[in-house]
Amino acid sequence: MGLEAPVMEQDPLLAQHGVAHGFTGRQGGVSQGVFASLNLGLHVGDDPERVRENRRRALMAAGVDPGRLTLGEQVHGTGLRWVGAGEAGAGAWAQAGALPATDGLLTRERGVVLGVLVADCIPLLLADPEAGLVAAVHAGWRGTAGRIGAQAVEALVAAGAQPSRILAAMGPSIGPCCYEVSPDLAGRFTRLFGREVLRVQGGRPHLDLRLANRLTLLEAGLDPGHISWHPPCTACHTARYFSHRAQGGRAGRQAGLIWLPR
């Protein structure tokens, strides 16, 4: 324990365009048990000192200042917030500091590391490298139903981004293979996005949350080739990733991180 470095996974599309980002997994931290080992969530019942050490390790592995990690409260809503110099580092060391009622963060400020914490929900990263704008979005089923991805695109466009240039990457999240949902929720998503977002396996509906987000982003004007949406399934790979569903609701959190280098 402790010698292994955190893994900072790269999305091929964002990497190809030189966008600074990373997705963490379970490896390389100091937490134990269900939180082993790189739990980055301060709100899940883990020892806060270990979580802060994990955050230091993860951000150092990414080559950025851990004190510049900026987080939203993440309330499964669609609240977006622009992060300026004044908000940089909000929530980095204490959950109470996270930006309230915020599920999506956007910035044009260099050196601010936007983060979303997840364990099955989609960490969605957006960037218009030419405009110098990035965003990190937490898209669970509620945010997805509220089209938070499209709302983030609209906010970026209002700030000077062009939809045709925006790159989107979905990080490790629960896949349709493992995301069984109630008939009620299945019906709701069918009405919102069409039947293609559902898969029936063993007579039970499974939701393809990534596809729903992809459809939302296409509607918002993104180029189909600018959406990276086949990340690993968190519930299929519980040695590599935290999974709320596969771990019975008691799990740590991994992060999607994006920033504009100084």
Between 226 and 244, name the residue whose CB sits nearer to Zn ion. 244
> Could you say whether residue 91 binds Zn ion (CB under 5 A)?
no
Tell me the per-residue interface mask from 174 to 213 with Zn ion, x by CB under 5 A, - otherwise.
-x-xx-----------------------------------
The rounded Cα 225 to chain-centroid distance in angstroms is: 20
> Could you say whether residue 236 binds Zn ion (CB under 5 A)?
yes
- Contact range with Zn ion by CB under 5 A, out of 57-65, 157-165, 231-239, 250-258: 231-239
The rounded Cα 241 to chain-centroid distance in angstroms is: 13
Interface residue with Zn ion, options 38, 116, 233, 258 (CB under 5 A) = 233
d(CA 96, CA 93): 9
> Could you say whether residue 235 binds Zn ion (CB under 5 A)?
yes
Give every CB contact of residue 25 below 8 A, 6+ residues apart in sequence.
6, 7, 9, 38, 172, 240, 241, 254
Give every CB contact of residue 212 below 8 A, 6+ residues apart in sequence.
144, 189, 192, 193, 197
- Contact range with Zn ion by CB under 5 A, out of 48-56, 74-82, 114-122, 230-238: 230-238
The distance of closest approach from Cβ of residue 234 to Zn ion in the complex, given in angstroms and rounded to an integer, is 8
Buried b (16+ CB within 10 A) or exposed e, 41-67: bbebebeeebbbbbbbbbbebbebbbe
Between 111 and 232, name the residue whose CB sits nearer to Zn ion. 232
Summarize as ranges the residues that interact with Zn ion (CB under 5 A). 175, 177-178, 233, 235-236
